[in-house]
Structure 1
Amino acid sequence: MENLSELKKTQIKLQSRYKQLIEQAYNLRESDSAQSDISEFKAIKLLNKLNRLKYIFRETPKKNLL
């Protein structure tokens, strides 16, 4: 169960970072397109990790999450 709670904390942290990177990419779009692309690329990599975590949570029995 401890592993699941740690994974959930990691998922929340990654979601927060993802939102920051997407916002940064959007804000930099007009002034520095290269930096915007870098932020967007990092956000996409984080989204991939988030999707893998969602898959793990989907596969775990619901009774273990309580």
Structure 2
Amino acid sequence: MELPTELSSYVRVLKLASTPSYTEFSQIAKIAGAGIVIVGILGFIIAQLMGFLVVSFIQDAATGAALAPW
């Protein structure tokens, strides 16, 4: 592990990096926000589905009804 070689590669990357423009930043923010919303909606749907399945399973067990064969 040569420190000068690694340090020079870090410096090279920092020199190439630049601050994004407003349009670039807003586009990235919109895409990231849309991804967060999609993941949240999917999580909500899965939570509702699991809640429905658990409640129906508990009700079937409480009434002594036969479970669906799947």
TM-score when normalising by structure 2: 0.45
Structure number with greater Rg is: 2
Higher RCO (C-alpha under 8 Å, 6+ residues apart): 1
Of Structure 1 and Structure 2, which has the larger fraction of its residues in helix?
1
